[in-house]
Amino acid sequence: MNRLAAEQRGRRGETIAAWFLRLKGWRVVAMRVKTPRGEVDLIARRGKTIAFVEVKARRNVHDLATAIDAYRLRRVAAAAEILLPKYGKECENMQIDLIMVAPWRWPHHLPNVWHG
């Protein structure tokens, strides 16, 4: 698969994940935020909780099992530390979430996956 197709699949997955979060009562405050320490796909708030969300989109559900690792979650957590002062004002809880997207399946949301 070429890089352009992977990029398009990733963007489509992020859009699906953002709508999924909205349906669950979250407000998406930012998408694709880059920092020197990593990138966060989605930043969402619900009440006093802010979530920094990593989205993984794959061609099939079987490929999702190997889509994420501790290294990638560490990078999201490092980026979240930088972004928290800007996006987390008045928040009492912060979490790192994972949303996995595959065709013809509901997105799978795993809240608070990082406890590093």
Q: What is the pLDDT of residue 116?
A: 65
Q: What is the pLDDT of residue 23?
A: 97
Q: What is the pLDDT of residue 107?
A: 95
Measured over the CA atoms of residue 86, residue 90, residue 95 and residue 98, the dihedral's sign is: negative
CA distances for 63 relative to 66, 67, 86, 101, angstroms: 6, 7, 34, 10
Overall size of the chain counted in residues: 116
Q: What is the pLDDT along the chain (116 residues), one digit of tens a residue?
A: 588 888 888 899 999 999 999 999 999 999 999 999 999 999 999 999 999 999 998 888 777 777 788 888 999 999 999 999 999 998 999 999 999 999 999 999 999 998 76
Q: What is the pTM of this model?
A: 0.92
CATH 3.20.20.80 is the classification of domain 3-110: no
Structure-block tokens of residue 109: 């949301």
